[in-house]
Amino acid sequence: MHDHYPSRQQPEARFLPRLDPVVFGDCPAAPPNNRPPIDRALVSKFETEGFLILEDLFRAAEVRLLQDGARKLLADPGALAPETLVTEPGADEIRSIFAIHRQSALMERLAADSRLAGLAHYLLGGDVYIHQSRLNYKPGFRGREFYWHSDFETWHVEDGMPRMRALSMSVLLAENRAANGPLMLIPGSHRRFLSCVGTTPENHYRMSLRKQEYGVPDEDSLAELAHRHGITVATGKPGTVVVFDCNIMHGSAGNISPFPRSNAFFVYNSVDNRLQAPFGPEKPRPPFVAERHDQTPVEPVTGQLTAG
């Protein structure tokens, strides 16, 4: 397959034009009567800035249910598939639990909730499947940073995602404050593709899920993006949902405050954008990181989240 977004192949980073739409909902290939589930102004904002911060999508009881579910998963790691547990660099504290929609009925239901999956269905112009899911934890005082990156760059090079037709949704399960390492985004950075340098080692994912060293943007390009577009800090109360394009530049600082934060994280990919062979390493990352076997479309489910 032709590589439309080459990266980690040249000695210098390059900005390349984005060849794909940001919003596919009104494209000719989208299903008929594919109406947006949010206000048109928000759709335009997502297209322009590459992200949305949506509050009050979930009721207080639903948020408490999700918080309890996340605590139970963290409290009993022995019940989870060992390969899905990622710890902090140089420590045994859990940083992420991957494939949560396969290990928790509640998280599977959340991933299919129409408030999330229905929006992904519209923005991506048709059926979607879960490319990746995880719970992210950033404990107080010791939570480490997630360095600046474009998800698509990694998904393209290491997973074989051919085009920019995917997005992420982060459901905040604790208050995200300016002080506890919240997500930071560079609005508008999704409109160009920034290639990275350095050949990717085999099985790089074993280290990159803890600390990414390849697929990391160069500082000069990051400075150009930040000076041109600014940086937005995605703060919000529990239950807030941050929706962001696959190619937006984002990251988060370490948490040296006493306030822990956590979120449930789902990546939706179009069924028309299924993974191919990686464009970098010969061996693809395992399915718990990048689903390439079960690409069953998510059927959006309406109604309130319940314990049953």
- DSSP sequence for the chain: ---SS--SSSSS--EEE--S-S--TTSTTSPTT---SS-HHHHHHHHHHSEEEE-SSS-HHHHHHHHHHHHHHHH-GGGS-GGGEEEPTTS-SEEEEE-HHHH-HHHHHHHHBIIIIIHHHHHTTS-EEEEEEEEEEE-TTTBPPEEEEEHHHHIIIII---SS-EEEEEEESS-B-TTS--EEE-TTGGGEEE---SPPPTTTHHHHTTS--SSPPPHHHHHHHHHHH--EE--B-TT-EEEEETT-EEEE--B-SS--EEEEEEEEEEGGG---S-SSSSSPPPTTTS--S--PPP--B-S-----
Domain assignment present for 181: yes
**Tens-place pLDDT, residues 134-181:** 999 998 998 888 899 999 999 999 999 999 999 999 999 999 999 999
pLDDT at residue 44 greater than cutoff 60: yes
**Tens-place pLDDT, residues 64-89:** 999 999 999 999 999 999 999 998 77
pLDDT confidence of residue 92:
75
* Farthest-apart Cα atoms in the chain, separation: 54
pLDDT confidence of residue 210:
44
The phi and psi torsions of 161 (rounded to 5 degrees) equal -75, 115
Domain assignment present for 308: no
Domain assignment present for 284: no
pLDDT confidence of residue 208:
47
- We report the CATH number of the domain holding residue 156 as 2.60.120.620
pLDDT confidence of residue 212:
54
pLDDT confidence of residue 207:
52
Q: pLDDT confidence of 281, banded at 50, 70, 90?
A: confident
Domain assignment present for 293: no
Percentage of residues in the chain having pLDDT higher than 70: 94
**Tens-place pLDDT, residues 23-36:** 998 887 777 777 88
pLDDT confidence of residue 147:
92
* Number of independent structural domains in the chain: 1
Domain assignment present for 143: yes
pLDDT at residue 259 greater than cutoff 50: yes
Domain assignment present for 74: yes
**Tens-place pLDDT, residues 197-240:** 987 766 554 554 444 566 789 999 999 999 999 999 999 999 99
Domain assignment present for 223: yes
Q: Tokens 């995605």, residue?
A: 234
pLDDT at residue 285 greater than cutoff 50: yes
Write out the residue range of the structural domain in which residue 85 sits. Answer: 15-29+39-273
Mean pLDDT value across residues 92-112:
94
Domain assignment present for 172: yes
Q: Tokens 């109406």, residue?
A: 35
pLDDT confidence of residue 71:
94
Percentage of residues in the chain having pLDDT higher than 90: 81
